[in-house]
A and B are shown apart, each in its own frame.
Chain A
Amino acid sequence: MAQVELRNVTRRYGSDVFALRELSLDVADGEFIIMVGPSGCGKSTALRLLAGLDKPTSGDILIGGRVVNSMDPGERDIAMVFQNYALYPHMSVYRNLAYGLRQRKTPKHEVDERVRRTSAMLGLESLLERKPAQLSGGQRQRVAMGRALVREPQVFLLDEPLSNLDAKLRSEVRGQLKQLHRRLGITTIYVTHDQVEAMTLGDRICVMSEGASQQLGSPQEIYESPANTFVAGFMGSPAMNLARVPVVDGQVMWGGLSVSRVGPGLDEVTVGVRPESFRIVGADETAAIAIVDFVEPLGSHNLVHVRMEVGGGDPRAGERQVQTDELVVVQVPAKERPTPGTRIHLAIDPTAVFLFHAESGVALTGVECSRVAHTS
């Protein structure tokens, strides 16, 4: 086991295509770290650089305190699980598991013992003589995990290992992965685009976009204080609602409601509210007003897609309202199911309003904004 460090690692293709820009990352010994981001954000490139399958243009990669930039993949004492598993099709499960050990000239009885132990741990004993083509998707996934684990590597790299499994199996294996990590304590770097995997598995999450780390922190930190609009919009399902709204006299106005207050010098901000931070209230309460577009029932709760009414005067006095084009998603209990086309009143939990700089997208901190209870 070892710590892993990326120091200002850049990977450039040609002269101007940056897959990674000056990425720095410290992974503690035994930590489970997730790299998450949309496709093309550089997360897989980072993993390939760690594995030695690609070389950085500049910067250093350290595993266990040693710079490994010029080391072959085989010398780095890492193991990797590929998205498509990459099991050797011409070898039985047993030989797939044993291959890495045999390449390292491990004594035969030890190979056998370790293969047996790993296959017992993953429930593969009855499959050892089969070829990969004779296995189901879930079984192949376990063999791929086994092939990585059997070597007892210092670092475990996983590249979207669950993306080829169906939803039910995915959540099952997710749980097993977490237990496995707890039991073995191998430093693990896990790449995914699935934010549920990111939130549930990681000790820390590195949210990436455009070849750079946007935020690094615990799942809770990422969720509760996103560093910028990218992180805010990417993490959470359904995604956080983000809207660019005007600031009038220091009040952040959204849906005809002051949702927060900011310091001087800003006349526009991006406001972010998670779907679960809304509540449908009666017409007599102070609330934002919205028109229901459509409702997605999900059994345990409903997702109501609405358009906020902005500007204008008091709708109760019959004054004309302007609706935004952007849909806002509101999560409500299953029993609440407003009719499309009707007007609803939405109270917003004032402690759950996020504010971001309108241009840069960076989160506004306490100095610039103070969250207030909505004005009455």
Chain B
Amino acid sequence: MTAHTVVTVPDDVVSGTSTSNLVPDARGSRVPSPWHLVLIPITFVLLVPLLWMLITSLETPDEAAQFPPTLVPHAIRWTNYPDALNAAPFGQFFLNSAIVAVIVVLSNLVLCSLAGYAFARLRFPGKSLLFASLMVTLMVPFQVTMIPEFLIVKWLGINVASGVGIDHLGALIVPNLVTAFGIFFLRQFFRTIPVELEEAARIDGTSRIGVLFKIVLPLSLPALSTLAALTFLDSWNNFLWPLIVIDSQSNMTLPLGLTFFQSAHATQWTLLMAGNVMSLLPMLVIFFAAQRYFVRSVAATGLKG
């Protein structure tokens, strides 16, 4: 459930790629548009679960258990936070989540750039077929592939390196090193970069790979930062896959660790929500940092205009 609450955030921000209408226009006018009548209620609907989570994290267990929910706590109970931290090795979970997310983000940026560029610009036999099969894998839900994926990871752990096997952090990293979505996303962006820029660089003596790193990638910062944020989110929020492959507490990530507060008979809602708030903070930071890239257009294309 928490995962869903959080996943709504990227949708909101991704739609922000077209939110140039929210930015004051060149003339500086801030005239309310009729769209605001639609957008404001939607924003409210999206914010309610987050607010509820925040409020619950500051309530007593009694208040949190009531329905309809108590929206104004009688006393603000900060102790939920240290309690949650003490109830489980949160530092370890946090570190594990960060290690996995950072490695997955970096490798996605590198590998998806390379593959996306190849699909965008290079000519090679079987390109269309390869790209089509890549697209098909996007349509297959994770629930369909998780068992084969589990078996592959298990095999890798036994036959290749134990670090990437079941119940290791590597098992969370390796299957996500590169994603079909990332390749597709960057390919689409690369195709919008005028090919003359690349040709000019070739004539200036740059190699093909040099063109990617010196011309294409610097011009793709908005796309790269968007991909980085989305990948980070996916990795940070991933619950099902860690649940399947991780057993030992020392290798758990945050979403998995939060289940400490849930048991078959009772859930410690206040501590769970306090943990959720804490696990949400890094993502909020990343979003606010990356947001200007989402909004920024590629206006500076250097071509005529």
Contact = CB atoms under 8 A, between A and B. Distances in A.
Given A131-B300, A133-B299, A140-B304, A86 B197 contact: yes
Given A53-B199, A73-B199, A82-B199, A88 B302 contact: yes
Contact of B303 (A78, A80, A85, A100): A85
Contact of A100 (B204, B207, B210, B301): B204
B36 interface: no
A132 interface: yes
6 contacts: A72-B202, A86-B194, A86-B303, A89-B197, A89-B303, A104-B205
Given A73-B202, A74-B202, A74-B204, A84 B194 contact: yes
Interface residues of A, number: 30
Nearest to B203: A73
A74 B196 contact: no
Contact of A85 (B202, B205, B304): B304
Contacts of B210: 103
Contacts of A73: 199, 202-203
Contacts of A90: 218-219, 300
Contacts of B205: 74-75, 100, 103-104
B102 interface: no
B243 interface: no
A88 B299 contact: no
B65 interface: no
B206 A88 contact: no
Contacts of B201: 88, 99
Identify which of A74, A75, A132, A140 gathers the most chain B CB atoms within 10 Å of its CB: A74
Nearest to B202: A73
Nearest to A54: B199
A86 B300 contact: no
A99 B203 CA distance: 11
A80 B204 CA distance: 9
Nearest to A74: B205
Contacts of B197: 86, 88-89
Which A-B residue pairs are the 7 nearest by beta carbons? A89-B302, A74-B205, A100-B204, A132-B302, A86-B196, A103-B205, A133-B300
Contacts of A86: 194, 196-197, 199-200, 302-303
A309 to B, nearest CB: 48
A79 interface: yes
B256 to A, nearest CB: 41
B301 to A, nearest CB: 5
Contacts of B304: 84-85, 137, 140, 164
A132 B199 CA distance: 17
Given A80-B203, A82-B199, A87-B302, 20 more contacts: A53-B203, A74-B202, A74-B203, A74-B204, A75-B205, A79-B203, A80-B199, A84-B196, A85-B302, A85-B304, A88-B215, A88-B302, A89-B301, A89-B302, A99-B204, A100-B203, A104-B205, A131-B300, A133-B300, A133-B301
Contacts of B199: 51, 53, 73, 80, 82, 86
B267 to A, nearest CB: 51
Contacts of B196: 82, 84, 86
A173 to B, nearest CB: 14
Interface string A139-173: 01000000100010000000000001000000000
A88 B199 CA distance: 11
Contacts of A133: 299-302
Contacts of A99: 201, 204
B38 to A, nearest CB: 34
